[in-house]
Structure 1
Amino acid sequence: MSEEPVTSLVREADVVTVNLRGEVDVLTVDQVRVALVEALESRPRTVVVDLSDLSFIDSTGLGALIFGFQRARDANIAFRLAHPSRGVRQILVLSGLLEVVELTE
């Protein structure tokens, strides 16, 4: 297991930002799921997943983002991805995730 945390949460008014950093893969994906659940539990108006410090995401990480998106949608909470690097953005495009999840550049 990776000891390095890959998530952090920032709460501001009705927006919770989940910051992802480093690599999200099979070793770290549970941290992402836990952070998304924690963000949604506070019932904000919007959850933003900031990808600016993320260097890589694999299929398990994409699955965690879909998990968060679906839970947010079910709770009528807006869910956005923000500031992906060029490489991460390409993975998001190829996965088709950006066809359903809003992206903020």
Structure 2
Amino acid sequence: MTSVDTDRDATRVSLRGEVDVLTVDQVRVALEEALAAHTREIVVDLRELSFIDSTGLGALIYGFQRAREKGIRFRLAGPTRSVHQILALSGLLEVVEVTP
């Protein structure tokens, strides 16, 4: 499950539950909506995300690359311990900003 909220400075994409091959399209749509909002920052809120697979990681990388191309700050916020481990193992933490 995803939701997108925009204010004048940032767009928050909140991910809940699991992101896998069955749900990744919702994440892609949410990231496209966030990119279309033309805010200065996109924050992907991971506090309620329990699992993400390689397709979900690919969607995050796509969102990060598109944001960078448009000069939009992109960061991940509040990953749970298990999601943080997946992000670390994938190498994503080396390129994408993560905040508590």
**Could you state the TM-score of these two structures normalised by the residue count of structure 1?**
0.94
- Which of 70, 80, 83 lines up with 1:85 in the alignment? 80
Aligned residues: 100
- Taking only aligned residues, the RMSD between alpha carbons, in angstroms, comes to 0.5
**Could you state the TM-score of these two structures normalised by the residue count of structure 2?**
0.98
Q: Structure 1 residue 103 and structure 2 residue 98: aligned? A: yes
Conservation of the 8 A alpha-carbon contact between 2:87 and 2:93: yes
Q: 2:18 aligns to what?
A: 23
> Which 4+ residue blocks in structure 1 deviate beyond 4 angstroms?
none
Q: Percent identity?
A: 69
Structure 2 residues not aligned, in runs of 5+: none
- Which of 4, 17, 22 lines up with 1:9 in the alignment? 4
Counterpart residue type for residue 78 of structure 2: H
- Kindly provide the CA deviation profile for residues 8-62 of structure 1, in whole angstroms up to 9, marking residues without a partner as x: 0111221000000000000000000000000010111000000000000000000
2-structure distance, mates of 1:93, 1:61: 14
